[in-house]
Amino acid sequence: MSRLCFFTHAGCCVSPSSVTMSWRRTAGLWSRTYRCPEATRSFRRDQSSSVGRAPGTDTDDKPGLRAIDLARKIQQERAKPRVEESQMSPQQKRVTELKRFSLQLQNVHPNVLAKHLHRSVLYQDKHVVVINKPYGVPVRDDTGVTSIASVLPVLSKMMDGMKLKSDSQLLPCLHLEKDVTGTLLLARNEAVVEQMLVLNRRKQVQKNYWVITVGVPVPSEGLIDIPVIEREITGPQPHYKMALSPLYKMNEVGDGVTKIRSHRQAQPAVTKYRVLDSSSGCSLVELHPLTEVKHQLRVHMAYALGCPILGDHKYSHWSKLAPQRLPERVLRKLGLEQSKIRHLPLHVHARQLTLQEGSQSDINVSSHLPKYFTQNLNRLQMTRPDKNNE
């Protein structure tokens, strides 16, 4: 009677007919060896498939990514934006450039921002430091976002040569809006902060701004003396914004003005302005505020002169929140489409800061324009009066 047997290996079954037997003599003894071709081939396949697996990993998992494959993948991803940019239209390239610019210093590591500010120091002495503030970074922020104030301890150590024992400090004196660039005054200690605030109240701190406006102010030079008040805008998108609160109104006949009672919550706001150049329906305007009210320059330009600042998406409309609407001529000059205009930054630059300290010599500091400001001036074919000085 024959007996049916099965040999198993690696989960497969083979019959005795596929098994071969051989005799081998070792150390004077004879031994039998059974060989199964199918089992041998299966075992070799298992060995080859397990090469490169980490010990203890499941045999059903896919092999891990090799270091050389990971390096190639990173290189391909780095090269991808270059390929995509080469296939973009000029308008798409402009939008990509503006997006990259507006995000380059937001939410960065504090040390990175501190190094950038260290390179942008315009003036320093034993009392004050003046830096060229970058776009999109708030001076102070309590929400945890990286701000100028949050990196001043690091900047102070950098300016002091990274000494381990250093008592130097930097404190912000005057404020600039998040999207405003240019000269920003810092104090070395609390006493200097108080001194600068006193000088500011006495009108001994002079600040001049450069802005690009949509439209040409008429007359080309003048003084805007209209109080500003915060108002609530009702509708589908309720919000608050600053508005004019004039002291005069046209009489019923229309041939003169009459003085009206001022609103008790309105704040006096006075701005001197002067057109430096104009072209393509836009203007380069110098502004000198004699008061400091929230969004004063933006409100006076948009509502008093009817020439909103380029990139001012808040005050280009009164009753709604929407991107600024630009004329076709201006869009063509800027190389942009109206659907992408929301990426256009605010064109307000704190160009010059002057400290009049009485008996001491005045401190007069100027800051260079940011790249996007200069590029758009060139696109709009306007010339800066000090172009040869930089």
- Could you tell me where the beta strands, DSSP code E, fall in 134-269? 171-172, 181-187, 205-214, 221-225, 228-233, 239-244, 248-250, 257-259
Q: Which CATH number fits domain 91-202: 3.20.20.105, 3.30.70.580, 3.40.50.300, 3.90.120.10?
A: 3.30.70.580
**Cα–Cα distance measured from residue 349 to residue 280, given in angstroms and rounded to the nearest whole number:** 21
- List the chain domain ranges: 91-202, 206-226+267-390
Query: What's the distance, Cα to Cα, between the start and end of the chain in Å?
Result: 108
Per DSSP, the three-state class of 390 is: coil
Half-sphere exposure of 55 (CA within 13 A, CB side): 0
**Cα–Cα distance measured from residue 331 to residue 285, given in angstroms and rounded to the nearest whole number:** 20
Per-position b or e across 225-239, b if 16+ CB within 10 A of its CB: bbbbbebeeeeeeee
Structure-token pair, residue 38? 């199918």
Sequential pLDDT tens for the chain (390 residues): 444 443 444 444 444 455 555 555 555 555 555 555 555 555 455 554 444 444 444 444 555 657 777 777 767 766 665 545 556 667 677 667 766 665 666 667 888 899 999 999 999 999 999 999 999 899 987 677 789 999 999 999 999 876 656 677 899 998 899 999 999 999 999 999 999 999 999 999 999 999 999 999 999 999 999 999 999 988 888 899 999 999 888 887 777 888 888 889 999 999 999 999 999 999 999 999 999 999 999 999 999 999 999 999 999 998 888 999 999 999 999 999 999 898 899 999 999 999 987 656 789 999 999 999 999 999 999 998 876 655
**Cα–Cα distance measured from residue 317 to residue 241, given in angstroms and rounded to the nearest whole number:** 11
Task: Compute the Cα dihedral for 16, 17, 19, 20 and give only its sign.
Answer: positive
Structure-token pair, residue 341? 């205009």
- Ordered DSSP codes for 218-243: SSSEEEEE--EEEEEEPSSS-EEEEE
**Cα–Cα distance measured from residue 384 to residue 211, given in angstroms and rounded to the nearest whole number:** 11
Per DSSP, the three-state class of 358 is: coil
Other C-beta atoms lying within 10 Å of the C-beta of residue 389: 7
pTM metric for this prediction = 0.74
Cβ neighbours of residue 140 closer than 8 Å, sequence gap 6 or more: 147, 148, 149, 172, 175
CATH top-level class of 206-226+267-390 = alpha beta
Do 91-202 and 206-226+267-390 have matching folds? no
